[in-house]
Structure 1
């Protein structure tokens, strides 16, 4: 028997790939998926009414790269192609992305032509950032923060007003702490190998493409041909994990909800005992853990305290989510994806997504305000009330977007320790964790956002990678 811990997208995807690669059937294994709560889907959760959808977590998916195309392959295989709603390059949500700085909203550059124009809040055209990179000497480092790297290569303004808010939007984190390898691994390697980003980029043009060979579905090819920027799923993004959940059930995966594991006991290289809080013991041959690293740490700490400590050293942040619906016939916003707020502005909010622009079938104006992240405790303390977050969100919306109407509906949610932070040294730490598991010959595989990327595509690809390793 094999067991998957966690019914979020990582755990569901692990079950999908175990089935698709016939690991279960070929080995006559029975597969369990154990979820501590009463539903599967993790942080992907959609609140739906006839007038609006409130997304509690992600709302769009990027189709770019091997990991993005891999997700589209899965989506087609699950029969969801007809539910996909792409945002193409000419859509306002693709073209118009903003930051709020110096008391104004600023449209970020979105074309090559804009690189040669001065666009506030930047004091000079962005082409000068590339010239700065060419002039900078090389600096040999094992790792660095993405903020330091960008400041060194492209200047402080780019670090403050482009990269820092982008990190807030992706992982609610502080660019001064996040590893450059999280988002700019290739650029960092160019600096370390060739002495600069521009030099590395030029040399890369003459090297053959070494991307993994991936057979593309019709949906994946269509995304390339039409150059999708992002896409979503009509009816709410939680249709995706729900469909995965149903696929697993239809293929005889035993999904146990409200099953909280209290301890993992490794008996030998092929035997693991899972003890739940009800006192039941389940013996399996292998465990796939998709739960957060800090949760897994608690389960293995008795037998493997060193492993537990390394798992606990992966930090997580808490994010406040305030969804707002305004029942007005006329839109209250300029069409755009939304805006982010640079940390240098010292704002209580990270940014705002214009959901009524990027999610279909919304009536009125729908906004999602994100708060806190790396600064949640600093801004709001340990016992903040949801009413406080709501008041702050409405106040900021009124100030920045000049929306004076009262929301007709709203929802506030605090997502505790929801996003891992890939701080400097993260990848070396994950390598150490997996090396420990290998050296001790522990029958466990690690998947999910704690280790191999925080985005939807990364989580799915992490599951695929770990399952395929078990095939060889």
Structure 2
């Protein structure tokens, strides 16, 4: 429902005429300033400002200033890749790795920081260390890259320091506006039409077999999850399929709860939960704080999104395809009662299990994507791979990868 606004997305929002529907969350908003961790059976506000760096702030046992000093003094790593946890432990210490970064990876990737690759998940941090020997120094000095073309909307977002944004009709309206833009321009949209098979025709074109029709294409741009694409490729592309099958994805249960006549004990974006506290519960987002425009009722409405499972789905709930929604709803309500003190029953709830929805960039992911790129180039396959399986899992990343793929096909003027 929300994301940081960057040029590729802001340009698309502007081009689709949605600027008037944008709901920003500026830098001085409580949802921007206040973020929490739930650990040790209590909520803790993440440190901010100079005071939070100079003195110990729970759940950390000592001032985070010392973690910064450690990074400035530590030598640069020499391994071509390492886990996010190992990288942060080496540069900032065990507490930052075990509590803060463990929680961050659960919130962003629904994944285990001990298995995720720092080079692929947080390339800015990896490159900062390699270039400047210190992550903090590298972040302060910047990458040296020129700023990309911006829209008026992205300039406004930067000036007001937006931490999040959404649309009045929810993020779904972005896809709806895109479809409405394409249809009058002669673009065929086959919605809810699974791809059954992808084969090369003797004339070099692709033949796409759908559930009820066949489509011929000169070039295919695939945003399918890597493992799904692997299952429809032709036999001659088996080396590519093998690489794609090695990009796993985790399942996440999303439970939306709405309460009336209650108040939250804190005001902010939400809270994350480290795996050491409760592996099954990733975190809770306080949706009504950032976007009260979506409440749909009175001012006393509280909307929450409870995220469950991720890399721990199987051990916590069993098979994502077979888990009972009632079990997930009960688990979410217990978490809200224990961690936020909301003991009343919600007036509305929605339970959804998103199976294999977030790709996991495990160690060596960068080598895997390089091998995939080499295979496509060597075989001269008219196939472009975009989407969350390769170079970033966010909406921003997916739109940027699509624009880059089209730019390679049509040239920079497009």
Shorter-chain TM-score above 0.5: yes
Q: Does structure 1 retain, via aligned residues, the 8 Å contact 2:283–2:306? A: yes
Deviation digits for residues 390-441 of structure 1, max 9, x if unmatched?
Answer: 1111111111111111111101110000010111111221121121011111
Give the drift of 1:228. 1.3
1:368 corresponds to which residue? 305
1:276-425 to 2 correspondences below 5 Å: 276-278=210-212, 280-328=213-261, 330-361=262-293, 362=295, 363=297, 364-382=301-319, 383-425=322-364
SS in 2 for 1:344: coil
Q: Cα deviations across residues 286-345 of structure 1 (Å, max 9, x unaligned)?
A: 1111111111101115231111110010000000111111122x4234221110001121
Contact residue 257 and residue 303 of structure 2 kept, 8 A: yes
Match runs of 1:62-77 below 5 Å: 62-63=4-5, 68-77=6-15
Map of 2:179 onto structure 1:
245
For residues 138 and 290 of structure 2, the distance between their equivalents in structure 1, rounded to whole angstroms, comes to 35
Judge conservation of contact 2:128–2:135 (CA < 8 Å) in 1: yes
| Of 266-275 and 112-121, the range deviating more from structure 2 | 266-275
Of the three residues 360, 368, 392, the one matched with 1:429 is 368
Question: Distance in 2 between the 1:439 and 1:412 partners?
Answer: 45
Contact 2:279 2:312 in 1 (8 A): no
Q: Distance in 2 between matches of 1:342 and 1:244?
A: 37
2:156 maps to which of 222, 239, 243: 222
What CA RMSD, in Å, does the superposition of the two structures yield over aligned residues?
Answer: 1.8
Distance 2:372 2:331 in 1: 40
Give distance in 1, aligned partners of 2:64 and 2:380.
Answer: 51
Using structure 2 for the length normalisation, give the TM-score.
Answer: 0.93
Does residue 33 of structure 2 align to residue 95 of structure 1?
A: yes
**1:107 counterpart residue number:** 45
After TM superposition, the score normalised by the length of structure 1 is 0.82
Deviation at 1:271, TM superposition (A): 0.9
SS where residue 300 of structure 1 aligns?
coil
Aligned to 2:3: 61
Deviations 1:202-257 (A, max 9, x none): 7x46x8x323x533221111112212121111121211111111111121111112
Structure 2 CA distance for partners of 1:386 and 1:230, relative to 1, 3 Å: same
Deviation at 1:276, TM superposition (A): 2.3
Give unmatched runs, 5+ long, in structure 2. none
Q: CA deviation at 1:190?
A: 3.5
Q: Give the Cα–Cα distance (whole angstroms) in 2 for the partners of residues 167 and 293 of structure 1.
A: 21
Contact (CA 8 Å) 2:197, 2:208: kept in 1 or not?
Answer: yes
Matches within 5 A, 1:93-242: 93-198=31-136, 200=138, 204=141, 209-211=144-146, 213-242=147-176
Deviates more, 1:345-354 or 1:287-296: 345-354
State the partner residue of 1:13.
none
8 Å CA contact 2:121–2:361 kept in 1: the answer is no
Structure 2: how far apart are the matches of 1:226 and 1:193?
Answer: 30
Larger mean CA deviation between 162-171 and 112-121 belongs to 112-121
